[in-house]
Amino acid sequence: MGKYVLSVLVKNSSGVLSRVCGLFSRRGYNIDSLTVGRTEDPSISRMTITLKGDDDVLEQVKKQLNKLEDVIRVINLIPDNSVYRELVLIKVKANDEKRAAINETAKIFRCKIIDLSTDTLTIELTGDESKVSALIKLMEEYGIEEIVRTGVTALQRGDSTIRNSLEDFD
């Protein structure tokens, strides 16, 4: 079973997200992560959808997405030709004794400390999934109070864009 990252251009209108998610749920497919935001054109949004399945599942999802009226374009982002990133915010228990060690770990990962209280630190990290997971694993020993991850967001490398990609690129 493979992991796929789809980049989907959609009209920026109400109900689009619901229709896309409904398509997945009606067919019994699971979305591992979903990020959505406006593009350089405010009338268009980009969805980055991560899912697991085989090649048949990928083709079926792409065909079904392309049938939706609000969908403009769907491409499968190939890992070697794309940049994947994820954002995580982690609130960690941090008393005076642990604070320096947590800060050193944050520096190694090139994190930002974005909030500080008497008992916690909140760390921000942007990176690929393995980097985010590695930081989370290290922070578990200090005690994670809260965590939030954005899910994968991605773009093709180089001059390629979703608008100029050939359909057979993926």
137-142 contacts, C-beta under 8 A, 24 or more apart: 138/105, 139/90, 139/92, 139/102, 139/105, 142/92, 142/93, 142/94, 142/98, 142/101, 142/102
Q: Over its length of 170 residues, how does the chain's per-residue pLDDT go in tens digits?
A: 899 999 999 999 999 999 999 999 898 889 999 999 999 999 999 999 999 999 999 999 999 999 999 999 999 999 999 999 999 999 999 998 999 999 999 999 999 999 999 999 999 999 999 999 999 999 999 999 999 999 999 999 998 888 876 443 33
Superfamily of domain 83-149: ACT-like. Chain A, domain 2 (3.30.70.1150)
Q: At what angle do helices 96-108 and 129-140 cross, to 10 degrees?
A: 160
Residues of each domain in the chain carrying CATH 3.30.70.1150: 83-149
Q: What pLDDT, on a 0 to 100 scale, did the predictor assign at position 168?
A: 38
Q: At what angle do helices 16-26 and 55-67 cross, to 10 degrees?
A: 140
User: In this structure, are residues 105 and 167 in contact, taking their beta carbons and an 8 Å threshold?
Assistant: no
Residues of each domain in the chain carrying CATH 3.30.70.260: 2-76
Could you please state the CATH topology (level 3) that the domain comprising 2-76 is classified under. Answer: Alpha-Beta Plaits (3.30.70)
